[in-house]
Every structure is written in C-alpha cells, then in structure tokens.
C-alpha cells in the first residue's frame, strides 16, 4: 500500500515538472519574439535625431533651405546705415545660401517718386524700405503694397515689438499690417554737458517753466540755447509742435489722425493752444535758424554753438561715431518737459520699415528676407552698429545712451510723428514754418491751412 502511494506521488511530481517545462517554453517564446521586435526599435532610436531635425526644419516658418531671388530697394545709400545693411545682407545670404539678394540703393530725397513709379511698373521690386504710417498709406490705398499678416503671425511680431502697433496699420484697412518696423526712433532733447556746466546749470528741466528758465540762463551766459533748420528735412518745425501737442492734448495720436484724415479744422483749440508755445521760444532760437541745414544743427550742438536740440534718437550714431562725443561726458538727454501735469505722458516717434510689393507677396524668399530683420541677432547687429533703438524687446545694446533712452521711454504711449502724403505735407509744413518764426499770426495760419485743405480735397475729388 505504501509502495503504491509512493509511486503515485512520483507520477504526480513527474507530470507537474513536465507541465512546468512546457510553461517555461511557452513564456520563452514571447520573450524571444519581443527581443526580435526590439531590434528594429534600436534602429529607429538611432534615426530619431535626423527625424527631429527634419520636423524642426519643417516647423521653422522660413527655413534655411528656401531658394529664390529677392530685390530690395533702400534709401540707405551711405554712412553707417548703408554699411549695416551691407553686413546684414551678407549674413542673410550666408544663412540662406540658396537665395540671391540684390540691394537697389536710391537716395532718400528721391524715394517717394521712385517707389511710386517702381511699384506701379510691370517689373516692381519684391521688397523695399520706406517710412510707415501716412507716408506709406497712399501706396497701400492704391493696392501696391502686400499685407504682412503671415509674417507677423509667424514671427509673433506684435508681442515681441510692442509700441509700434499702429505704425504699420492704416484706417480703412482693418487690422492688416502693411509695414514691418525694423527699429524704433523716439524724440528726446539732447544737450551739451559742457555748455550746461559753463552756464552753471546743475539740473535738467522737468517742467516748461524750468525749461524757459534754462534757456534764459544759457542766454545770459552768452550761450545760444537752441536752433532749428530751414526746410522740412527732419520736420524741424512740426517736431516742436509734436512736443507741444504731446504735452497739452489728452490723446495727441487722435489729433494727428484727424490731420492725416484731412478732417480737422485748423481753428481747433487744441491746435491753437499747442502753437502758442512757439511765441515763448522766439527769443531763444539761433539767429541763423532760417538758413541752417539739418546737418548744421547737430554739428552745432557737438561744437557747442548751441546748448541743446530736440532730435530723434537716430542722431546718437552721428554724435558717437562721426563726432566722437562721449555719452554722459560730452552730451546727455532729457525728455521734453511737462507743460500740463494732468496730461498723460505721450511721445512721438519714427522708424524705418520693410515692406513687400504685390510682386513679392508670394515670393517666399522675399518673405524670409523681411522676417530676417526680426531675428534677435539681426536686430543686435544692426542697432549696435548704427546706435539705433531696436524694434523688438530683449536685445543687448552696447550704447549706454540708447540703453538710457530705451529705459526712459519704456511703457510710454507712442504715436507716429506728423507725416502726410507727398505734396500736401510740404504745403502744410511751409505754413507751420512761418508761424513758428512768428512771421504770421495763429489766425492767419489757420486760414491758410484751411484753404490748402479745401483745395487739396477738391483736387482729390
């Protein structure tokens, strides 16, 4: 009996071992299959970086593999601006080896006529440099300029370049941008430190009364306070009116828009009030102001022939690179003084901008060239070489004066400086010039401007 039980136990043990062996073999097979399937996965892992690079290239809105030809008309024909443009063009073609970029230089005083003729021709340039806002609007109205919506969205331009939103958009064209500002130029009052010290002035003026006191102190010391140039280059006369307007109007930008829309009556009390401050400045202009050129003005400040001058920040490049002026030792700046303390601080500015013609609208190479100006490395190269303030945020600036201006003006409301279309612009500024020198009364200025506008509307209709 015992023997029988033992034999049964041995049989059961043998059967169980047999079953376990089968189970192990069944589990081994999937393990081998998994191992065989894993081998291709290793190969995929080796190929993954190349695929990731391909995906990244595909996601880049303007990848370096783009090919084509681009023509770009520019009014930078000399000086540091032209040199910077040449540097950036060469770097662009290095980064885009399959794109051929051709720069077509045209002097700034010819650009209005040349661009108008070129854009309307059968063979227009793909892209061009111009001033945005009212100067460009006639070309936009004529359908000669391509929208830049895709580039704005691809480069997230409105987020990285705050403060220039309205400079690229035009009444009657909705929210569509037609210009891409590539720098930011703001107006400041620059002064010769040595002349201030010579007159015993230890504090820059913050209010209009203090500003007039500084002018008188300088004059008493035998130093000419300031000057203006004849003509319209740099808008020397309206630039001062811009200063008065930003310090006396709640929203100077809306006033300027009324001017540009030809909807203002020049007897408007806002305009009259702004103009009145010219009368207080009449004793302090340089006596040769009616014959001075724009170039004369900033050289006079460098030499000390005048003590201060309100100019755009583009002048910093000339002061530091052409004249060797040392910031905070030879010259410094302050913002235009407050006239009405209840008026929020506003400033006017300007910029250079890049545009696409309708011929360049579908040219991906031209789009890549326009977008290239928004790269941080491009902005850094351009702004540091020319001493311009960048259009986009977060750029490392070497110039301490540009850094100061960018810091001082940060967060302030900006509106584009006065500019009308060619023809009307010159007529208006010529009358404003007469008033700024006290040659005509405010009533006569309003009458003349209303007549000019009436004739212009009649001609346009």
150 shares a domain with 215: no
> Looking at 177-246, which runs of residues are DSSP E strands?
180-181, 185-192
Q: Are residues 314 and 422 in the same domain?
A: yes
Q: What pLDDT, on the 0 to 100 scale, is given for residue 10?
A: 41
Q: Which residues contact 144 (CB under 8 A, 6 or more apart)?
A: 119, 120, 124, 357, 358
Clarify whether residues 234 and 149 are in a common domain: no
Closest alpha carbon to 422 in 137, 141, 106, 104:
137
3-state secondary structure at position 63: coil
Residue 40 lies in a domain: no
The structure tokens listed for 338 are: 């407050």
Instruction: DSSP letter for 121, please.
Output: S
> What is the per-residue pLDDT across 348-387, written as a single tens digit (0 to 9) for each?
888 899 999 999 999 999 999 999 999 999 999 998 888 8
Q: Is residue 10 part of a domain?
A: no
Task: Answer yes or no: is 46 within a domain.
Answer: no
Helix or strand or coil: residue 361?
coil
pLDDT at 5: 39
Question: Is 57 a domain residue?
Answer: no
In a domain, 374, yes or no: yes
pLDDT of residue 323: 85
- Residues in Cβ contact with 130 at an 8 Å cutoff, skipping those fewer than 6 apart: 75, 111, 115, 136, 139, 179, 353, 355
Q: Are residues 199 and 216 in the same domain?
A: yes
Same domain, 217 and 316: yes
355 shares a domain with 206: no
| Helix or strand run (H / E) with residue 6 | helix 2-59
Same domain, yes or no: 129 and 223: no
Map residue 268 onto helix, strand or coil: coil
189, 300: one domain: yes
Residue 398 domain-assigned (yes or no): no
Residue 9 lies in a domain: no
Residue among 241, 203, 194, 256 nearest 221 (CA): 194
271 and 207 inside one domain: yes
Task: Assign residue 335 the CATH number of its domain.
Answer: 3.40.190.10
* pLDDT score, position 236: 54
Buried/exposed code over 290-304 (b: 16+ C-beta within 10 A; e: otherwise):
eebebebbbbbbbee
pLDDT in tens, 251-283: 898 898 888 888 889 999 999 999 999 899 999
Each residue's pLDDT, cut to its tens digit, for the chain (461 residues) gives: 434 433 443 444 443 443 344 444 334 444 334 334 444 444 444 444 555 544 444 468 899 999 999 999 999 998 888 999 999 999 999 999 999 999 999 987 788 889 989 999 999 999 999 988 878 888 999 999 999 999 999 999 989 887 777 788 888 899 999 999 998 888 899 999 999 999 999 999 999 999 999 999 999 999 999 987 654 444 556 778 889 999 999 989 889 888 888 888 999 999 999 999 989 999 998 888 777 776 788 889 999 999 998 888 888 888 887 788 999 999 999 999 999 999 998 888 888 999 999 999 999 999 999 999 999 999 999 988 888 888 888 888 888 998 898 888 877 888 888 777 767 888 888 888 888 888 899 999 999 999 999 998 888 76
Same domain, 356 and 345: no
Residue 425 in domain: yes
Domain count, the chain: 2
For residue 98, give its domain range. 68-183+351-391
Beta-carbon neighbour count of residue 443 at 10 Å?
Answer: 11
From residue 61, alpha-carbon distances to 56, 90, 177, 310 in Å are 10, 21, 18, 41
- The answer to whether the pTM exceeds 0.85 is no
Distance (Å, whole) CA 45 – CA 274: 71
431's tokens: 């009358």
Q: Give the pLDDT confidence score for residue 335 in this predicted structure.
A: 93
- Burial class for 30, CB neighbours closer than 10 Å (0-12, 13-18, 19+): exposed
Residues 244 and 172 in one domain: no
State whether 365 and 324 are in the same domain: no
Strand locations in 59-184, DSSP E?
A: 68-74, 99-105, 127-130, 180-181
């Amino acid at each position: 009996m015992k023997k029988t039980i033992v034999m049964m136990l041995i049989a059961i043990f043998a059967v169980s071992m047999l079953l376990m062996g089968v189970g192990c073999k069944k589990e081994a097979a999937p393990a081998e299959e998994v191992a065989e399937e894993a081998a291709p996965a290793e190969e995929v892992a080796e190929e993954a970086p190349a695929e990731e690079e391909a995906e990244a290239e595909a996601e880049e809105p303007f990848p370096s593999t783009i090919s084509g030809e681009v023509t770009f008309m520019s009014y930078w024909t000399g000086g540091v601006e032209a040199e910077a443009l040449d540097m950036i063009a060469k770097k662009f073609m290095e980064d885009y080896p399959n794109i051929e970029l051709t720069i077509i230089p045209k002097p700034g005083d010819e650009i209005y006529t040349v661009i108008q003729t070129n854009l309307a021709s059968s063979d227009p340039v793909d892209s061009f440099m111009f001033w945005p806002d009212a100067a460009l609007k006639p070309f936009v109205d004529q359908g000669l300029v391509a929208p830049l919506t895709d580039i704005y969205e691809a480069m997230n331009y409105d987020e990285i370049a705050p403060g220039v939103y309205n400079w690229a958009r035009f009444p009657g064209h909705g929210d569509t941008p037609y210009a891409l500002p590539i720098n930011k130029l703001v107006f400041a009052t620059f002064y010769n430190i040595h002349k201030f010290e010579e007159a015993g002035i230890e504090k820059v003026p913050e209010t209009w009364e203090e500003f007039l006191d500084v002018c008188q102190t300088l004059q008493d010391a035998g130093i000419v306070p300031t000057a203006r140039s004849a003509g319209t280059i740099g808008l020397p006369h309206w630039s001062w009116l811009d200063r008065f307007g930003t310090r006396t109007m709640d929203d100077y930008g809306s006033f300027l828009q009324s001017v540009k829309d030809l909807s203002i009556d020049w007897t408007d009390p806002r305009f009259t009030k702004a103009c009145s401050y010219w009368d207080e400045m009449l004793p302090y202009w340089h006596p040769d102001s009616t014959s001075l050129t724009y170039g004369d003005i900033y050289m006079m400040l460098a030499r000390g022939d005048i003590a201060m001058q309100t100019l755009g920040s583009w002048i910093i490049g000339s002061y530091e690179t052409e004249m060797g002026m040392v910031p905070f030792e030879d010259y410094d700046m302050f913002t235009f003084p407050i006239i009405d303390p209840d008026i929020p601080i506003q400033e006017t500015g300007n910029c250079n901008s890049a545009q696409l013609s309708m011929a360049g609208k579908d040219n991906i190479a031209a789009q890549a060239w326009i977008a290239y100006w928004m790269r941080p490395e491009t902005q850094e190269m351009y702004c540091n070489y020319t001493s311009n303030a960048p259009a986009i945020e977060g750029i490392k600036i070497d110039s301490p004066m540009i850094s100061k201006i960018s810091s001082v003006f940060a967060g302030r409301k900006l509106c584009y400086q006065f500019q009308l279309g060619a023809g009307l612009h010159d007529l208006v500024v010529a009358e404003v010039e007469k008033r700024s020198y006290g040659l005509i009364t405010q009533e006569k200025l309003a009458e003349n401007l209303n007549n000019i506008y009436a004739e212009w509307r009649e001609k346009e209709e």
